[in-house]
Structure 1
């Protein structure tokens, strides 16, 4: 398999962590979707991550986006099952993933509004940034409340819920280091440190901003 992505995308990192936890081999191909349209050959949405099946070179052999890729990859090996098969536990894990993805969605939109070179400074909207960051803060608070004093986000073992939350919080540190989410959510901070110490997270740490 070939994974097309970038070193800084939190969605790509989520997939890379899942691949590492599942102990699966793959080829990682770097792609800058802002500097090239090459990704359109595999993903018409122009986004990463994109997983390409072995021997394929067209959209018909590609899997996207990160949620779909993670679910597919989890079926490829019985090692470290990350998504429950059915029922309430499965729904809970996928809801945690949706919450974490929402943090990434909103924070990326805020960052693009602040930094995208295709827009002049006078065209940027502070109200739009504030709206997105309100979602971020509310979602991180919900993560802290949902985690409580449990060892893992969902159930009694490590799952995709924890991977998703870890990648979202890491992206906040990476792109918004001035935001102190740890003081308000000490339990979440403790959980994040435990996740960050896993080899899968260490090996996928984004480069210095």
Structure 2
């Protein structure tokens, strides 16, 4: 397998963390989708990373699809419950973390890709409201639990850890550590794992 992505993308990081936790060998190829000479559309018509190239040459897109598939390849470090409400709960955590990222990335694109005179402060405020509410929801759901989905490390923790790490990387002005110390405690614990240490965004 070959993973195409960037060192800064939180969605790419999520897949890289899962690959490391599952101890799966995978070539990593850097791609800047914003570069004029990008060829990402040849493997992903949506022009996005991550993109996972399978052994038969076919492409798998969307980080949520990838990590769910990768968890089936080996019993090492099972990240998703087999079925039922527990599995849905983990996937809801992932959707929440990814939703926070989606909103924050829209803000970053608005501020960095659009001319200043065309930027909408109302749009930015709307998206930042989603980020704030999403973080509050994460903190409330986590409570005093050691991990997002109970007593075990799961894909929920991977997704939340990648989201929090990216916010610290791109939005240091968001003081989520001060506002939600339980999330900070979880993030610090996750940051000690080799899979997280080796994939710090840059």
Determine if the TM-score, normalized by the shorter chain, exceeds 0.5: yes
Q: Is the 8 A contact 2:31 2:38 kept in 1?
A: no
Give the deviation of 1:155 after TM superposition: 2.6
Moved over 6 A (4+): none
In structure 2, the partner of 1:199 is 194
In structure 2, the partner of 1:28 is 28
Q: Give the whole-Å Cα distance in 2 for the aligned partners of 1:55 and 1:96.
A: 32
Give the deviation of 1:66 after TM superposition: 0.1
After superposition, where does 1:6-155 map in structure 2 within 5 Å? 6-35=6-35, 36-56=37-57, 61-116=58-113, 119-155=114-150
Gaps of 5+ in 2: none
Gaps of 5+ in 1: none
Question: What's the Cα RMSD here?
Answer: 0.8
Please, what TM-score do these two structures have when normalized by structure 1? 0.94
Q: Give the whole-Å Cα distance in 1 for the aligned partners of 2:137 and 2:18.
A: 23
Q: Is the 8 A contact 2:5 2:50 kept in 1?
A: yes
Q: Is the 8 A contact 1:7 1:13 kept in 2?
A: yes
Give the deviation of 1:101 after TM superposition: 0.2
Q: What is the SS of the residue equivalent to 2:34? A: coil
Q: Give the whole-Å Cα distance in 1 for the aligned partners of 2:74 and 2:135.
A: 31
Q: What is the SS of the residue equivalent to 1:33? A: coil
Q: Is the 8 A contact 1:89 1:155 kept in 2?
A: no
Matched residue count: 201
For 1:101-139, what per-residue CA distance to the aligned partner results, in whole angstroms no more than 9, with x for missing partners?
Answer: 0011000000000011xx221001111111100000000
